[in-house]
Amino acid sequence: MKERLSVLYIEKGQLDVLDGAFVVVDVNGVRTHIPVGGVACLMLEPGTRVSHAAVALAARVGTLLVWIGEAGVRLYASGQPGGARSDRLLYQAQLALDPDLRLKVVRKMYHLRFGEEPPARRSVDQLRGIEGARVREMYKLIARKYGVTWKTRNYDTEEWDKADLPNRCLSAATSCLYGVTEAAVLAAGYAPAVGFIHTGKPLSFVYDIADLFKFETVVPVAFCTAAGRVTNAEQQVRLACRDCFRETKLLGRIIPTIEEVLAAGEIKPPEPPEDAVLPAIPNPETIGDAGHRA
């Protein structure tokens, strides 16, 4: 993960495999090679078409394809289905199912986010309440720091254009972060849907992990962009996110952080049961991450 480019946005063109290389071909026949093995996640905007061979190649090198709507509103995702490692999936599920273990993990997340131990004897729900208040305070604080007028976070994807500039910048920036976080969760072999603080969404765990980095990375970037003179806000935010991900060495940090958070449960990943049939054909050694299928 850490040696990959974070995200690439493809706006229009046909994604295909020509001579074995991953290319985007535009209407004029101009080919742009994408070093797909060196990218963590490819964001496909409206106006792109993808061939079967291109998806197969992206999956083989462990690159996440994310179909997004205009301005980063997410539609659909694929490339690497989650849970390629049953041992890690069971480990994650065990932590999420046991109330005590889950609370330990949530407390660790709180600790990582705010740099202090959460108050003792609080339930996950209470912690979530404290967290929500602190988050609203942090938005206000960062907005004031960059001189941005901030009312409230607006998630309404239906009425995208009605959202104010800071909200639009924030949405574009968080979609970048969610993309790379999802790629990292999959690369590490965990399931994006099995969350601890967030639950019930296909990307619950991705939101949990992304929140650990949100306020040191994309929120300042979004407000800083919103405070300046912007012509193409979404693009400027992406550019700034790329710089920020590099400076904070984000891609190298996500997977170790996931391991650290889950380790707070103080249980070991489960051993295979004694009567289990181990694979007859051992998995080949690959240069990809643990959760990649090929």
Partner 1 sequence: MLVIVLENAPPRLRGRLAIWLLEIRAGVYVGDYSAKVREYLWQQVQVGIEDGNAVMVWRTNNEAGFDFTTLGKNRRVPVELDGAKLVSFLPVEETGDSSAV
> Measured between alpha carbons, how far is 8 from 45 in angstroms, rounded to an integer?
10
Does 73 participate in binding partner 1 (rule CB under 8 A)? no
What residues numbered 10-29 form the site for partner 1, per CB under 8 A? 23, 28-29
Q: Where are the alpha helices (DSSP H) in 190-270?
A: 204-214, 218-227, 233-247, 250-263
Q: Classify 47 in phi/psi space as left (phi over 0), alpha (psi -120 to 50) or beta.
A: left
Which residue number, 22 or 91, has a Cβ lying nearer to partner 1?
22
Residue span binding partner 1 (CB under 8 A) among the ranges 102-110, 240-248, 252-260, 269-277: 240-248
**At which residue do the structure tokens 């309404």 appear?**
156
Residue 71 sits in the site that holds partner 1 (CB under 8 A): no
**Residue 243 touching partner 1 (CB under 8 A):** yes
**Which token pair is 137?**
């305070």
List the one residue from 70, 157, 246, 256 that touches partner 1 (CB under 8 A).
246
Q: Pattern of binders to partner 1 over 28-67, x per CB under 8 A? A: xxxxxxxx--------------------------------
Helix (H, G, I), strand (E, B) or coil at 13: strand
For partner 1, the closer of residues 37 and 269 by Cβ is: 37
Nearer Cβ to partner 1 (78/235): 235
Query: Quick check: 5 binds partner 1 (CB under 8 A)?
Result: yes
Among 6, 80, 181, 217, binds partner 1 (CB under 8 A): 6
Interface pick for partner 1 out of 204, 238, 291, 292 (rule CB under 8 A): 238
Number of residues that bind partner 1 (CB under 8 A): 21
Helices and strands (H, E) in the chain, number of each type: 9, 8
Which residue carries 């407000």 as its tokens?
223
Alpha-carbon distances, residue 177 vs 41, 111, 181 (angstroms): 11, 20, 6
